[in-house]
A and B are shown apart, each in its own frame.
Chain A
């Protein structure tokens, strides 16, 4: 009889050896005396038809020997379906799709010149973010064991969640109370459990000081991301960035609302100062989460991967996309964008897509979730929507030239109003105190009328 194919993917981390279960896609837990905290997970989902390649990254900072991960998967995974990826690929994807600041310079009201350039991008904020016999008696089957890169991997199946829980406990994995009931749901759906821990010898041989992302490839109609296991013993809300690489168009959730992050707005130019944009982005995101009652996912980027405008980083090359699992790219898949670093590239890059370039559409979703507001796993669908969207925030620098025509006076007056609007917008987007913002902008705490500015040439002559 043909086995039902259930899909996917929960990833839950488990502390190995000194046993505490950690979460992935959310769930991270520390040993009793060690606060290991991983609130921000990143997952790349490459999807076309029923084929999925999932790459999971985390910023685990603890002792590697205490790291382990449990990922429910839809089918048995052969050795070739598991891979260890390169963290730089996800960093590049993050940089490419991150919300960005754009700056413009006001033209001389007495002359016309236009200049604009991208100044910096907002990468994901770090803050946001004798065995087999016993196994059989517990109803747990070790279906396969592999060593892939620095990981030792087991593929388990179970008849009862209690048996699986006991087996994991007896083998040094500490399962948080409550995990059993979540495991039960996946056990009854005949899902397999992908269990990985770090092989320290292999890890030392390879020489990596951090954990590289795990990748799994499988075929299943289910297009979803289990997050429930990750919330079992979560300490507060979890943060997840999901990048979907698809052929047709934007990806959205079908069981939660997907909302576009507020974008395309003028903001005070001081956000260009180091750290200010990051502060703005995290505050703005938190405020939007609150405004939507923490019940939505936010769309932060949706774009054809063949170009960008402006580019926070170069688009990923075909080779990078292939490494992430974009399986429909072939060797002659059209012109590949030049390889780019993950740093911020500050020029606009309006590259109209070439017709014969392979189609890869990127969707970046960002969600903050907890079990009260997100009771069920995330279920996705690919839509045919190819409308571009990006988180883009605009700085407009004032013109500081001399007033040599009547238009300059009008410009000065309108500038005061504009800056006041920028201050109020920033306050409303972030919840910050508007008078503090005005102070930072040198507008004066009372608003636009408090400190009329003039820009006669002699006023600036001896200014200190």
Chain B
């Protein structure tokens, strides 16, 4: 077999499989090596809750849209959200972990605009919990900077597997954010070791490659995604260096997500599907080319077809 053939064979059709494997490995690494403040039992509780919630939501939605049709539970999407939650959410109280897991899945069904969910599920769930209670927290320092290499490998791999056309938001964000970090250091006369140290943060890399990159919640057009990346970077920088609050990345992404419908209206583009076009065709899925405006009937059908994370 030729090399391209081998690569094609190993290359998963659905990048979410790669994401699940990577996030699960990072969680395992965190639990065993980095002493994360989460137990295996808690992780299982969160994963079980997201899967159950996803199943219920799929059932309800499908029952409403296509009565009588068998319902497929979107396990991959729920697992990605659940694993991300395990990596980020910390609380002493198991019931709050369950609420967070339910909210994470529920927000993507409840908060939609023209068939597209507004918030990255994990981001939405975390921000909702941070707003609702003071009993949860996120530990951005838990990765340290020694895991940079591990992260880079995982992240680069992720970019390779994701279609390059949708990695632009990741590149744009890290460029904008890096420029702001270096710009601030240069203005203040600080050594460059300071912005470099901030860029080495595992939490930042996880956010950059696994959260803001979510193609289902970023704008449809490339120009829109670059604009969005700039807004998120500025918001995160503002929260961290002007308001002096933690979790600037999470707050900023949640706030900027509200602007995505406007960006999509101003700069329309093609809606994303997880399966690559040939793979999607092979899997029997129609290639979706949804442009605004769509009719309510087709939009409803598209929503059902397109429901992923």
Minimum CB–CB distance from A226 to chain B (whole Å) comes to: 12
B190 within 8 A of A: yes
B184-225 Cβ-contact flags toward A at 8 Å (1 or 0): 000111110110111001000000000000000000000000
Most chain B beta-carbon neighbours within 10 Å: one of A185, A188, A220, A223: A185
A248 within 8 A of B: yes
Given A188-B189, A260-B35, do A383 and B244 touch, yes or no (CB 8 Å)? no
Q: Which residue of B lies closest to A257 (CB)?
A: B144
A354 to B142, CA, bound (A): 33
Interface of B is mostly: loop
B91 within 8 A of A: yes
B277 within 8 A of A: no
Minimum CB–CB distance from B226 to chain A (whole Å) comes to: 28
A384 near B134: Cβ-Cβ < 8 Å: yes
A432 within 8 A of B: no
A276 to B140, CA, bound (A): 37
A295 near B140: Cβ-Cβ < 8 Å: no
A255 near B141: Cβ-Cβ < 8 Å: yes
A253 within 8 A of B: yes
B141 near A385: Cβ-Cβ < 8 Å: no
A358-402 Cβ-contact flags toward B at 8 Å (1 or 0): 000000000000000001100101011111000000000000000
B259 within 8 A of A: no
B240-251 Cβ-contact flags toward A at 8 Å (1 or 0): 001111100000
A414 within 8 A of B: no
Contact residue among A223, A379, A385 (Cβ-Cβ distance under 8 Å from B137): A385
A181 within 8 A of B: yes
A259 to B201, CA, bound (A): 16
A122-164 Cβ-contact flags toward B at 8 Å (1 or 0): 0000000000000000000000000000000000000001000
B246 near A381: Cβ-Cβ < 8 Å: yes
A418 within 8 A of B: no
B1 within 8 A of A: no
B92 within 8 A of A: yes
Interface of A is mostly: loop
A342 within 8 A of B: no
Contact residue among B141, B193, B196, B197 (Cβ-Cβ distance under 8 Å from A258): B141
A300: chain B residues at CB < 8 Å are none
B194 near A375: Cβ-Cβ < 8 Å: yes
A218-237 Cβ-contact flags toward B at 8 Å (1 or 0): 00111100000000000000
A50-63 Cβ-contact flags toward B at 8 Å (1 or 0): 00000000000000
B37 within 8 A of A: yes
Q: Which residue of A lies closest to B91 (CB)?
A: A384
Contact residue among A184, A295, A381, A387 (Cβ-Cβ distance under 8 Å from B145): A295
A252 near B188: Cβ-Cβ < 8 Å: no
B245 near A221: Cβ-Cβ < 8 Å: yes
B179 within 8 A of A: no
A295 to B198, CA, bound (A): 13
A189 near B188: Cβ-Cβ < 8 Å: yes
Most chain B beta-carbon neighbours within 10 Å: one of A188, A379, A381, A387: A381
10 extra interchain contacts, Cβ-Cβ under 8 A, other than A221-B243, A384-B137, A385-B37? A4-B242, A181-B189, A257-B143, A257-B144, A260-B35, A375-B191, A375-B194, A375-B196, A376-B193, A384-B91
- Seen from chain B, the residues whose Cβ lies within 8 Å of a Cβ on chain A are 34-35, 37, 90-92, 134-137, 139-146, 187-191, 193-194, 196-198, 201, 242-246
Q: What 4 A-B pairs come out closest when comparing CB atoms?
A: A257-B144, A375-B193, A184-B189, A221-B244
